[in-house]
Amino acid sequence: MMRRHEAPIGIDLGSAALGAVQLGPRGRSVEAAIELPRRGDGLDLNGEIARLVRVMARQGFRDGPVIVGLPDHDVTVAELTLPTASSGAPLDDIVAAQLARICQADPSTLECGWWATDATSATATTRSLAAAVPWSVADSIAEAFDRAGLEVAAMEARPLAIARACRMIAQPGLEVVIDRSAPLPIMIVLERQEVSYVRPFTRPAARTGIDETPQALSVEAFLAELRLTLGYLSHRHPTESVARILLAGSERDLMPISETLTYTWDLPGEMLRLDGLAQLPERLGCGGPGLVPALGLALRGRAA
């Protein structure tokens, strides 16, 4: 059992690896961090979480508030157009009904959240982003941590955690983040440091289609998807431009994309690394690029 400590712990349930970051007593200082590759097919959630908690105890983690990043494949994210808050409409109910229709589920079986991203007209509607996860998924994750001896204080979609981790370096206008740490990589757009758009990569790298590894999309497929998103952002924000692309995930996988962006597109591709977003003790080295979501989750615990 880990010693009691109030410093928050962010845990990212990635598909290829589990990541955990515990913050120190102040600011963005990191007290402990580990990245643990998943075993086998990674489907034994209870076993993987129990193994992670055992390793955390050996690596200097202490008991504290735990914020868990929900696996991307369990979260539905959708862009919605809603009435303005001043209309008096039951916005939470409207969001739950629309997400339930997308998920083909009963609204009562989903945990939903949403936030406004832009006003699409002066009076009638607001563009918003919403996310939903089945209660059954959230409950099973919480129970797995409880059996391992940790109580979950909160859960969050990974794009929100990545955005929070980037806020220290985010520019005031548009930022685009490519997260290639999951089987189906995603593109996250930040407007004024808040998530305003999430787009999964969908184009296969080969004729056999998309497989279950982060390497399943070629550089050409990434760039084709990125071109579509940049075109959408240019239409939506004609007076703003994207000055760089932030890259999260394995440096080995992302380096070809970074080099192509920098030397062919003249658009810098910058790697997100834990040591560039937080203060790390020397014993942790650079901390590993896959720990960026876990840092964002821990920072949510600090804000709370």
Measure the CA–CA gap between 263 and 117, rounded to whole angstroms: 32
Pick the closest to residue 20 from 58, 76, 72 (CA basis): 58
Residue 20 has a pLDDT of 94
The model's pTM: 0.87
Contact of 191 with 167, CB cutoff 8 Å:
no
Residue 103 has a pLDDT of 95
Pick the closest to residue 173 from 81, 259, 238 (CA basis): 238
Contact of 130 with 113, CB cutoff 8 Å:
yes
Structure tokens, 63: 């008991």
Instruction: Return left, alpha or beta for 287; rule: phi > 0 is left, psi -120 to 50 is alpha, else beta.
Output: left
**Residue 211, pLDDT above cutoff 50:** no
Q: Is the dihedral of CA 77, 81, 85, 90 positive or negative?
A: negative
- Please list, in sequence order, all residues whose beta carbon lies within 8 angstroms of the beta carbon of residue 220, skipping any fewer than 6 positions away: none
Amino acid at 193: Q
Tell me the mean pLDDT in the region 80-104.
92
- Structurally, at CATH architecture level, domain 9-72+136-160+277-303 sits in 2-Layer Sandwich (3.30)
Contact of 248 with 178, CB cutoff 8 Å:
yes
Contact of 157 with 149, CB cutoff 8 Å:
no
Instruction: Return left, alpha or beta for 169; rule: phi > 0 is left, psi -120 to 50 is alpha, else beta.
Output: alpha
Residue 149 has a pLDDT of 92
C-alpha triplet 252, 257, 258: angle, nearest 5°: 85
Residue 123 has a pLDDT of 53
Amino acid at 282: E
Pick the closest to residue 78 from 36, 131, 38, 39 (CA basis): 131
C-alpha triplet 204, 208, 213: angle, nearest 5°: 60
Q: Looking at per-residue confidence, does 250 or 84 come out higher?
A: 84
Tell me whether domains 9-72+136-160+277-303 and 164-272 share a fold: yes
CA–CA distances in Å: residue 217 to residues 172, 180, 220, 230, 267: 30, 10, 8, 19, 20
pLDDT tens for residues 124-162?
778 899 999 999 999 999 999 999 999 999 999 999 999
Give me the chain's average pLDDT, please. 83
Phi, psi of 8 (to 5 degrees): -70, 150
Q: How would you classify the pairing of strands 30-37 and 17-23?
A: antiparallel
Which 3 state secondary structure label does DSSP give 43?
coil
Q: Looking at per-residue confidence, does 114 or 173 come out higher?
A: 114
Which 3 state secondary structure label does DSSP give 175?
strand
Residue 42 has a pLDDT of 55
**Residue 208, pLDDT above cutoff 70:** no
Pick the closest to residue 170 from 195, 201, 154, 193 (CA basis): 193
pLDDT tens for residues 20-67?
999 987 777 899 999 888 886 656 888 999 999 999 999 989 888 999
What residue segments make up the domains of the chain, in order of their start?
A: 9-72+136-160+277-303, 74-135, 164-272
Which of the listed CATH numbers 3.30.420.40, 3.40.50.300, 3.90.320.10, 3.20.20.140 matches domain 164-272? 3.30.420.40
Contact of 4 with 56, CB cutoff 8 Å:
no
